[in-house]
Structure 1
Amino acid sequence: MIEWILAEWMQIVGFATGAACVFLAARRNVWTYPLGIANNVVFLAVFLPAGLYAAAALQLVYLALGVHGWWRWTRGVEHDRHYIARTPRGAILWLVVVGVAGAALLTWVLSTFTDSQVAVADAATTSASLVAQYMLNRKWLENWFVWIGVDIAFVALSVVTGLWVVAALYALFIALCVFGWRSWRRVGSDAAADAAAPGAVDARA
């Protein structure tokens, strides 16, 4: 057991920080961002040796998105813990376009310049993860559906590449995402009901 822990300690640390990060996001706690940045550093060290180059590069992009989300959750309208929004209809098309274009571009890069054996799956999960993270930063409720799809794919991808601890982590993420969606939906429904109540005053005014 000790030998296994010593051999897999980075995956274990990634497991712990990743699970805590998603749980805090589900609870709408801004500390999800500094913890998420720490998680990115750990996974960068895990994915590179496994040949998951797009997933590794994703961690660097997450650092930038983490700063963006941290700023929005402390300075933007998302600062209000009770603020939950639905994804604007006008944003859905460009989110899909960005996701598909990103996956296509990453597939070409991985197939052309690396020895990745899982280029399409790696690229697709990477691109979808970026879309989901941006939606999370904006506190758009539907971000949880995107994350669930990504996590299911990552479970399969991690199993194929032998990252069993990471696979278990993403399986846990699925459950946490369901919890997050239910929690955010409840808060959003309560806020909408309060706003619609006669004589209600907007607390953000």
Structure 2
Amino acid sequence: MAGGRTIEIAAVALGLLNIALLIRRSVWNYPFGLAMVTLYALIFFEAKLYADAGLQVFFFAIQIYGWRSWLQSREEDGLVIVRRIGAAAAGYGMAALIGGAALGAGLDRLTDSTHPYWDASITSLSICAQVMMARRFLENWLVWIAVDALAIGLFLVKGLAPTAALYAAFLLMSAAGFFSWRRTFRRRRGEV
């Protein structure tokens, strides 16, 4: 891809802005997220990471949903209200497991994907985490930590060093996001 590294660096910068604003529960994370996933769709397709490329199309759509949901679910200060997932966690986990296995099998049989099950696992967990994020569940950050850990290795293997570095930053930011959102949740419930 001509200018591939420049596009990847731009996507990394957009991703860092996106996550920093997510941690702060700002609805303004979404424009940066939409731009980032557009660039990553191109980057991952070029790297033959088809599940990750397709995931960016899903991310684009779910970001629009999330933006709308977050605009309707803000506190007086304009920040988003955090919720706990509760019993729905089992359903999200099963969907991610079944989805990852099915997608991995499909990629293995139907494409020239270089790491179909690794790619599919990241994809299915990312879908789960993104839906949880759009619905403002605190636990989304824990799923993102798992995604980030898996993605760092895959992107290093594929020679996408700036993207691997981004996911290392995402891992740290996801931990910070979890603690920040948990503190907000507890404060809102008067548990602090």
Q: TM-score, normalised by structure 2?
A: 0.93
Q: Which residue of 2 aligns with 1:86?
A: 84
The runs of 4+ residues in structure 1 deviating greater than 6 Å are: none
1:11 aligns with 2:11: no
Residues in 1 aligned to 2:107 and 2:92: alpha-carbon distance in whole angstroms: 22
Q: TM-score, normalised by structure 1?
A: 0.87
Residues in 1 aligned to 2:140 and 2:148: alpha-carbon distance in whole angstroms: 12
Residues in 2 aligned to 1:82 and 1:99: alpha-carbon distance in whole angstroms: 25
1:25 aligns with 2:22: yes
1:67 aligns with 2:29: no
The alignment partner of 1:102 has SS state of: helix
The alignment partner of 1:134 has SS state of: helix
Please give the per-residue CA displacement for 1:146-183, whole angstroms capped at 9, x wherever unaligned: 00110010000000101000000000101111111111
Q: Which residue of 2 aligns with 1:172?
A: 169
2:29 maps to a residue whose letter is T
Aligned-pair Cα RMSD in Å: 1.4
1:39 maps to a residue whose letter is M
CA spacing shift, 1:136–1:49, aligned 2, 3 Å? same
Q: How many residues align?
A: 187
- Unaligned runs of 5+ residues in structure 2 are none
Structure number with bigger Rg: 1
1:185 aligns with 2:182: yes
Q: Which residue of 1 aligns with 2:129?
A: 132
* Mapped contact 2:70–2:80 kept (Cα < 8 A): no
- Once the two structures are TM-superposed, the CA of residue 7 in structure 1 deviates from its matched residue by 5.3
**Percent identity at matched positions?**
35
Please give the per-residue CA displacement for 1:50-100, whole angstroms capped at 9, x wherever unaligned: 11000000000001111110110012xx323252111121x1121012101
Residues in 2 aligned to 1:79 and 1:190: alpha-carbon distance in whole angstroms: 15
Residues in 1 aligned to 2:158 and 2:80: alpha-carbon distance in whole angstroms: 40
- Unaligned runs of 5+ residues in structure 1 are 1-5, 197-205
Q: 1:58 aligns with which of 48, 55, 59?
A: 55
2:13 maps to a residue whose letter is A
